[in-house]
Each structure stands twice: as structure tokens, then as C-alpha cells.
Chains A and B, each alone.
Chain A
Amino acid sequence: GAVVSQHPSRVICKSGTSVKIECRSLDFQATTMFWYRQFPKQSLMLMATSNEGSKATYEQGVEKDKFLINHASLTLSTLTVTSAHPEDSSFYICSAARTGPNSPLHFGNGTRLTVT
């Protein structure tokens, strides 16, 4: 069964508003979670690494003030898209590893964000 739960699965928002996406590890604790973005017919691009109890690590080119990440507990990480614009419309997917580094990542089912 699913080990990573992501919510919501779909969200439509108006330009200028903020949207929060939640990612939960269901039966294990994840000190690290990863947020990916995927455009249609393209691969997954790592946006940031979410670290429990500390600041997230963002990949080059990803605006940390636009994509706020909070990893407040060992089972929950949130991604907030602030002041969303139509170009932020995309498929956002979170992931976590059950065990240590180099363990396979398990992915949530993704969130389809549409900004109108």
C-alpha cells in the first residue's frame, strides 16, 4: 500500500493566492523529504530537500521565497506556493525514503496545481 500520502490531489487557485500542499509519511518517520516538480511529458525535477527541524535546501533556480517548505514533524512536510502565477501550474510530487541515504524514494500521488 501507499507509504507516502499527498494532499490535495488537485487544486485550482486564482493568480496571486497561495496554496499549501501536504506530504505525509504514513508508517515511518522521515527526517528528509523531497519535493519534485513535473511538467507535462517531462521528467521529475528536484526542487528542494525538506529537512525536519531545519531549513530546506533548494536546488539552483528554485526561489525559496516563492516555494516555502516547512518540515515541522517527522511525518509531515508542506510546500506552500506563494503568490501563485499561471506559470506555477504544474504537477508537484513529494517523496520520502523509509530508511537511510540511498534508500529508494517512495512517492506521493502528486498534486496537480492549476493557477487561473
Chain B
Amino acid sequence: DTAVSQTPKYLVTQMGNDKSIKCEQNLGHDTMYWYKQDSKKFLKIMFSYNNKELIINETVPNRFSPKSPDKAHLNLHINSLELGDSAVYFCASSQDRLSPGGPNYGYTFGSGTRLTVV
């Protein structure tokens, strides 16, 4: 069973469209994240949810809206897609977010969603 699964794996869409990426984890983790990996492979956090509550919201355009219906799911909806949104989006989850030195700190990543806006 895949621990953190994202759908779709690839997404090609036109500018101006609205799209969603879904993420599900079956690890029982309380915290989920969205990261963006740009064309230079730089990974940057976008959002973090803990038990359906938003706890990290980095400087991200309002066109990006995360939604967490339950702690096992964190979806990312993007409105009015722009060319610069093209990237790989990674979902991740973690069991312990409060103790960086603890044994359960650290992420389990999904396989990524490659979004191409044309």
C-alpha cells in the first residue's frame, strides 16, 4: 500500500483554468504538507495542516487554496492557472511536528504531481 498518494501524477492544462491535486495518507499522521519544486529543483513549503487546521501558510498567491476534509487528506486547488505555476507539487505527511530531534520527526513524501501550464 502506498503511504502517501497523490493524484494525478501528471497534469497538463491551459492558462486560466482551475485544477485540483489530491493527496491522501494512510499512515495515521496528524500533519500534512504541500511543497512546490520549481524548474531548478528547489523545494519550498507552501502549506501545512495539522488535524484539519492550517498551521503554516507561506507567501503563496491567493489562487492556491488548500483543503483538508479530514486529517488523512489534503487537497490543493489552484484557480486561474498561470505559466509560472508549472512545477512539481509534493505532498508529505509527518507523525511528529513538534520535536525535530525526535525519532518520528520527518516527512513521508508522495511521488509528486507534475503540473504543466500551457
Asked whether A and B interact, the reply is no
